[in-house]
């Protein structure tokens, strides 16, 4: 049976085993990065903590967000049969409210421990149970099998969908998504661009709906930085938005 993304309902007593800060790097409306800090406490049953080397865990963890749709497509749900569930208790704050909005709109969290040599855990997958208003994490049994596909699909090239302000907003051109056909797309100012050709670190991108709607939009990037733009869009967003099967809704 596939594991549920609802918070675990356990009769075991949950006790605190870690407290510290979680760093969440968000994209701003200006296109830069803003570091948000969340004070957090982790709770778990004794049978879970007995098998963790908690003393070696760092006091600061890093949080990255990926769309749950992308998470499902790379098949990571099969790794979450682990019964090692932990509850995340964030101190009430504006940042916590913004994080909740992101999860309600279809995001999943990857909590990276950046561990010292003796730390046994590298990543925790973070979910949000909207019914119980509860953040909970699952510690995968096989850490390496989980980290590798997430890195390829979501982290490499800064392919992280983040939250800007208090609303779900994709604002920076450094946001990519690889669809099921293996093609690479780039998001820039309200439109998706498809990779056309590349030479070294230089990539030419054309608007996803360019040919069918006579759009001349194109951009050039070099080593992930914007070099040249030629927008000239003549079509409405909802046309291409439907092609992504609700990814942005």
- Three-state secondary-structure class, residue 189: coil
Give tens-digit pLDDT for 44-61.
Answer: 999 899 989 898 899 999
Q: Between 176 and 17, where is the model more confident?
A: 17
User: Smallest Cα–Cα separation from 62: which of 175, 167, 155, 141?
Assistant: 155
Domains, the chain, in order of start with CATH, read 14-155 (2.40.290.30), 175-243 (2.20.25.240)
Query: What is the b/e burial string over 85-96, where b = at least 16 CB atoms within 10 angstroms of the residue's CB?
Result: bbbbebeeeebb
Region 159-184 average pLDDT: 41
Pairing of strands 184-188, 33-45: unpaired
Region 127-150 average pLDDT: 80
Average pLDDT taken over every residue of the chain = 71
In the prediction, which pLDDT does 84 show? 85
The C-alpha angle 85, 123, 17, rounded to 5 degrees, equals: 50
In the prediction, which pLDDT does 232 show? 75
pLDDT beyond 60 at 71: yes
Region 225-229 average pLDDT: 75
* CA 96 – CA 36 distance, rounded (Å): 10
Q: pLDDT grade, residue 166 (50/70/90)?
A: very low
Radius of gyration of the chain from its Cα atoms, rounded to whole angstroms: 20
- Three-state secondary-structure class, residue 240: helix
User: Smallest Cα–Cα separation from 67: which of 161, 146, 166, 149?
Assistant: 161
Q: pLDDT grade, residue 192 (50/70/90)?
A: confident
Find residue 225's DSSP bridge partners: 222
- Three-state secondary-structure class, residue 17: strand
Q: Between 121 and 212, where is the model more confident?
A: 121
pLDDT beyond 60 at 31: no
In the prediction, which pLDDT does 79 show? 60
With beta carbons less than 8 A apart as the criterion, state whether 86 and 43 touch: yes
pLDDT beyond 60 at 167: no
Residue 238 structure tokens = 């909802």
Most confident residue range from 100-114, 149-163, 164-178, 191-205: 100-114
- Specify the residue for token string 């661009």: 193
pLDDT beyond 70 at 8: no
Give tens-digit pLDDT for 77-135.
Answer: 666 666 788 999 999 999 999 999 989 888 888 898 876 667 778 889 899 988 889 99
- Specify the residue for token string 């996803």: 208
For the chain, count helices (H), then strands (E): 6, 13
| DSSP E strand boundaries for 28-92 | 33-45, 60-67, 85-90
In the prediction, which pLDDT does 19 show? 96
pLDDT beyond 80 at 201: no
Q: Between 150 and 120, where is the model more confident?
A: 120
The C-alpha angle 97, 238, 66, rounded to 5 degrees, equals: 40
According to DSSP, residue 13 is labeled P
């Amino acid at each position: 049976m596939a594991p549920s993304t609802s918070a675990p309902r356990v009769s075991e007593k949950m006790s605190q085993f870690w407290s510290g800060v979680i760093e969440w790097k968000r994209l701003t409306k200006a296109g830069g990065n803003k570091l948000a800090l969340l004070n957090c406490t982790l709770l778990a049953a004794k049978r879970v903590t007995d098998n963790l080397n908690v003393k070696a865990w760092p006091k600061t963890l890093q949080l990255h967000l990926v769309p749950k749709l992308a998470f499902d497509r790379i098949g990571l749900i099969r790794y979450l049969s682990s019964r090692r569930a932990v509850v995340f208790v964030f101190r009430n704050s504006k940042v916590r409210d913004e994080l909740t909005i992101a999860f309600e709109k279809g995001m999943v969290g990857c909590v990276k421990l950046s561990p010292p040599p003796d730390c046994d855990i590298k990543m925790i997958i973070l979910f949000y149970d909207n019914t119980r208003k509860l953040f909970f994490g699952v510690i995968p049994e096989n850490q390496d099998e989980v980290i590798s596909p997430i890195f390829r699909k979501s982290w490499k090239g800064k392919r992280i969908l983040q939250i800007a302000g208090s609303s779900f907003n994709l604002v920076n051109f450094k946001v990519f998504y690889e669809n099921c056909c293996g093609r690479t797309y780039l998001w820039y100012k309200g439109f998706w661009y498809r990779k056309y050709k590349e030479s070294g670190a230089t990539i030419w991108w054309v608007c996803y709906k360019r040919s069918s709607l006579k759009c001349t939009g194109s951009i050039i990037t070099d080593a992930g930085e914007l070099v040249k733009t030629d927008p000239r869009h003549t079509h409405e967003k909802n046309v291409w938005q439907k092609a992504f099967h609700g990814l942005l809704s």
